[in-house]
Every structure is written in structure tokens, then in C-alpha cells.
Structure 1
Amino acid sequence: MDIIFGLLAIILVLGIGFLMSNDRKNINYTGIGVMLVFQLITTWFVFNTPIGQWIIGTISAGFTNLINYGKEGVAFVLPNVANVGEDGSSASVFFLDVLLIIIFFATILSVLTYLRILPLIIKYIGMFISWITGLPKVESFNAVNSMFFGQSEALIAIKSQFHHLNDNRLYIVSASAMGSVSASIVGAYLGMLPDEFVLVAIPLNMFSALILGSLIAPVKVKREEDRVDVKDVSGAKSFFEAMGNGALDGGKIALIVAAMLIAFIASLELVNGIIAFFFNGVTLQTILGYVLAPIAFLMGIPSGELVQAGSLMGTKVVTNEFVAMLELQSLINDASLSDKTVGIVSVFLTSFANFSSIGIIAGTVQGIDPDKGASVSKFGLKLLIGATLGSILSATIAGLFL
């Protein structure tokens, strides 16, 4: 029965995307079908085969080692900060154990970019996706690039091609940026959620963003307008300058995330305080939980956990993924949710699809091309809906195999 409801959810998501389409005659159904098959095969392979579990376990172990190396750097700079709870046991300090690890991951990404290793990997994976789906190279490259770099960085990487992007193409590249995550903060996610769900969510959400983008804003381009250039992708002049730039960028990201969390969590408590004044015991999360419970049901969430799952999903959309992940982490620690719910919700949360991302993407595009920045602002809400539908699609597919 769960499989039937899951398939209904997939059909519903694709149906909404079709109804939102601004050019239904030119929808690339073949490419969409290919990407759906890739999602299903990838998820089945990772969750239901020994080889897939070994691969994801090996990748997870690699990330764990990197996180531990990052913690050594944090411990050297802050040796006297003791992570000790009230009972004398070791306690986690979010800023130290999660956010500061971003600095090390950003440094690695910067070095790999300077050495031209990462750009070539991204380029050829993007070309492969373009070849099997029929999508333009720029859109495919940007989708892969968005898996490694943040929203702003991914869009800046294709700024030389912006003069070729009409509104539909601009929608797809923006959707890829919003539906993805940055590799520099994956380490932070892994510090809060089960590794296998975060890692499988990254490619799933990349394909989901392209699927919904291809439905909502179909594109056809001329060959001369479809080129990808990876030259001079790093501004660093030396290996050590790349390390320094990466460290500084990572530090900025860590502080930005910390500032946003303070603002969002405090604002959420303020809203809950206002709601409680009129309706005792009711919170915004509870309201969102009931609103999104039907969607959670179709996604495969067990009936007794629908409101909790819907609450986490809604919190992510109206605030950001970190706020929702922190709430999910506490539920995981308390064993309040089943493994299936944890997996589905974790995949849903692993993306930048939230209201604040509209401003980030519009601001980045505005800096590259003011006219196109105005276009992004106009379809900002449509962008958020499409990216959220993509997260639902990814989480539903994950739920089919859990």
C-alpha cells in the first residue's frame, strides 16, 4: 500500500509541475523519464544492495574522517572550550562541532577547484547528464555544480553564459541552485542526520530540481548558445592562496549560518509566543504539521508520525533546513520517530528550498545582470514551489525503498 501511495505522490508532484508549466508543448518528457529512472535505480542500489550499502558506507567513512580532521583544527584554536554536560558527560556544542567544520570543507573545495580537479569532474558529469537527458549543457553543468558549491557560487560560475539565458533557462538554473546543497556544509549536515540519507539526497535533489524545472520551464537552445567554460574558475594564484581563500569563505559561511539560526530560531519563538497568547499549547510547527500531514501521508510517513513530519517539513520551508534539522536531531536522539520517517524527512530537508533562498538567488543574479535579477524576483514564489515539489519528489522516492 505504501508503494501505491508513493506512486500517487510522484504522479501528483509531476501533475502539479505540468499544470504550472508555461510551455507544455515543449516539455522534454524523454529527459524527465530518464531522470526518474536514474533516481529509482540510484535509491534502490544504495538502500537495497550490499554493494550500494558498502559504497555509501565508504563515502560516509571518508566524510567522517574529514570531519574528525576538521575537529582537530577547531580543538587547536579553541583548546580550553570544554564540551561537558551538566552530568559530566561529553556534550555537543553546535557552533564548534558542526558550524566550524564548514571552514575545513570549504578549504578542501577551494583547493580542488584551484587544481582544476573538481571543475573537470563537474563538467564531464554535466555533459553526461546533458547527453542522456537532452537538456542544455549549461543547465546540466549548473545542476552538478550546485551539488558542490553554494547557490551564489554555482550561479557565478556560469555568469559568462547569462546573456544566453531567457526566463525559462534562468528558472531552471535558479531551481537547481535552490534544490541543491553546498558540499562545504555537507559535513555540518552529517553532524546532525544519518549519513546515508544525506548522501543519497544530494543526487536525488539534483535530478528532482531538473525534472521540475523541465516541467515548469521547458527549454530548447541553439548549439552556439550552449557552451560551458571552466577556465579560470579559481581566482587563486597559488595553492596556499586557494587554501586561504577557502578558509576565509568557510568562516564567512559558518558565521552567516550562525547569524541566520539565531535570527530564525528567535523569530520562531516570538511567533510561537504570539500564537500561544491566543491559543494555549499551539505552535507554528503544530499548525504546519497539520497542514502538511496529507502530503506526508502520501510520501510514506507512518500515520502516527504525520504531524511531526509535516511540522519539520514546514519549518524548513518557512525558516531554513538547519532549524528543521536541529528539531529532527532531537527527535532522533529521543527515538521519537521510525527509521522510515527519519529517512524520508532527512532527504526532504537536504536542500536550500526555503523562503530565504529566494532573496539569496535573486540578489546573486542581480549582481550579475540587473535585468535578469528582476526576472528572478518576479518568479521567486514559483521557484520556491517548484523546489519544494522537488524535495517532495526526492523524499517520496527514498520512501519507496525504506
Structure 2
Amino acid sequence: MTFDETRRWTRRRLLETTGGLLGASLWLPETALAAAGEVKLPPMKASTEVESPLPQPQEPDKRVGFAIVGLGRLSLEELLPAFGECKKAKLVALVSGDKDKARTVASQYGVSEKNLYDYKNYDSLKDNPEVQAVYIVLPNNMHAEYTVRAAKAGKHVLCEKPMANSVAECQQMIDACRAAKKQLMVAYRLQYEPHHRAAIQLARSKKLGALKLFSADNGQNQAPDAQWRHKKALAGGGALPDVGIYCLNAARYLSGEEPVEVWGSMYSTPGDARFKEVEENFLFTLRFPSGLIAQCTTGYGHHDSRRMRLMGSEAWVDMDPAFAYSGLRMRISRKSPDDPKASDTVERSLPQPSQFAREMDHFAECVQNNRQPHTPGEEGLQDMRIIEALYRAAREGKSQKLEAVAKQDAFRGPAPSAEG
């Protein structure tokens, strides 16, 4: 048999030769075995190799139906494509002020035209049983209003971060969802991402030793065109609440602690039209009860930089990039167990599924099981308390003391499952 003839020995021919389905079950080593609603395959690789688990999506009619509220860049570039990876969430509706754009996007993703809404008829979502949850992807100043309206319409709410522009608005959102008996989650995608979950485990298991220092930088160079992020009334602030919140939130979830004292300083380049209303750069320090110190920077006027490092008495873990949507890289350094005169720095590679699919699936699972999300409204509220304190510190030129919180993970719900 020639090489070309061998190539033509296809699966179809094998099935025909061995008698259809019965032959397939006898001859194909990759035959699927269905058990308890899951599809299983025999291992393809040796036990020395990493083998990815098979996706196990729920049947479509069992998944939680989402309405995406706002069709800006994040929705179009990340959220809508992420539904293709979701196992427990599905896209069923769109909310946009631009009817033509909504119709175009609906046709691209198979959303029925009857499930297209604008901001005026948003409240009529209450009459649509296909929509169980909304994902709010609007300018920050609109988060509170559209969360409250969704809760009154009987819908669960997943809201982008920052949760709102003030502590008062965050509390209003929490109260509305609690009164409606609906779940509220803030979209802290990295708390569901495999590398960050691994870093949390390293920190909490004491494999780094006592936590001493945390450093993080997250910034980007904003386009000069007018955009809502440059308007204080819409954004609430500049780099700090938009991209600096990643550094702040990471310091909190890696350690499980809450800061007891904060310092802050901000600066904007004179004459730069982008920063007439909001700050360009913000530097801040957080002091935690254990003695851990976090030093963070964030900016709107420099080349992309998204890195972090957590330093312990025995080892450190870092990521660069740490806060990007994909391509995360993790390194761990400690004294070598083989050579007492050497240090080992290793790179740990983990799966990189869609961060947005993971967070949406987690929220869908919480809706299905009536369980508090890992990042509920209280988590977003705590970040806003700290952000307000940091702005006070910057304005007054002195540190701000915060109320001590003894409990670990005081504002978080149960940890997400491995798949969610």
C-alpha cells in the first residue's frame, strides 16, 4: 500500500469496513463513551503529558439566557465571541441605543429581532422569560441605574467594573438586587482565570512563605479622540478606577486581606486635552494587617504595561502580562532543592480559556443553584471604598486609615469551581 493509499484510509472507510456503528465501537480507539451526561474519550497522551479535559457543555435549553446591555468595544471584541466557549450561559438578547448596530450584531450571532431592546424599553425585559440575566457593559455612571432597573424587572445582574462611581451607588445596587432576590456579581474576570487562581493557591498555602511585598503596574496609552473615559461625570475618575482597579483588586484577592492604611498620589501632563477632567497617572500604596505592603502604579498615557509580582519570604510569583485578556505568563522563583547555591525560576503554563466565558459560566452556575457569586456586589463596594480613600489621600497629601477587617475573603462568596 502506498503512502497516498494509506492517507485515503479514512474514518468513513473504516466504519464502512467494520460494519457501521458496531464496528466503530470495536475498532476506533477514540470512540466516545457517554456516561452520566458526559462524553468521555480514552487518553491520547502518555501519563507524563498534560491532557486537556473535554468540554462538557450543558444542553442549550438548560443554559442561562443573557442579555448584553451595551454594544461597545468590550462587548463586540470579547463578550459576544466568548459565548462560543460558554458551557452554562447563552446569548439571547441585546440592548443598544443604536438600532442598526443591534440588528447587524443580532444577525451575526443568531439573536432573534424580537429580543432586541433599547434603553427606553429596557424595563420590558421583565416580560421576556428567555432572559434570566443581564450583563451591563455601559459607562460607569450608568451601572447603578441599569442594575436597579434590571432587578426590578426580575433579572439577575452581572456588572462590569468598576461597579459604580461611588460607594453610595454600589450600595444602591446591592440593596435593589437583595430586595428583588436576584444575584448580583461584579465582573472581576481575573478572579476566575487559571493563572490567577494558581497564584492565589500559592499565596494561601504558604508556599511563598510569609507575604511581604506586592508590586503591580497596569496602564495604557489612551487615544486622543473624545471618549467617555475622559469625562469625570461618566467615568468617575481616570486611570485609577478603570485600569488601576486590577492592581488594587489583585492585592486583595491574592492575600485575602483588606488594607488598613492607604497612600495615593496623582499627576496629569499639563496641556494634555485627554486629562482635563480625569487623572492621567495614579500611584498608590496599601498596608495590610499582616505587614504586607502593596505598591502599585496605573496610567493612561504610557505604552501598555500589565505586570505584577507577589514576594514572599521563601519565594516569589510574578506574571507579565498579568492583566491582559490572553497570553498571560507566570514565573515562580525559589531556592533550588538540588543546589543550595542556586535559585530555580520556572515558568508555569496553564490553560488559557476565554476569561469572559469563565466568569459568565460562573455566574450562570450561581443563578442555576441560587448561590452567591465569588465576586458579589460587596466585593465591588469594598474596592470603591478604597478608591474613594485613595482619592482623599491624593487630595489631602496624607495617608488614610481604613476600618480593620479581620476575616479572610470578607467580601467574597464561595470559590469558583475548576470549570467555572
Instruction: Give the shorter-chain TM-score range.
Output: under 0.3
The structure having more radius of gyration, on CA atoms, is 2
Between Structure 1 and Structure 2, which shows a larger proportion of strand residues? 2
* TM-score normalized by the length of structure 1: 0.27
* TM-score normalized by the length of structure 2: 0.26
Structure showing greater relative contact order (alpha-carbon pairs closer than 8 Å, 6 or more residues apart): 1
Between Structure 1 and Structure 2, which shows a larger proportion of helix residues? 1
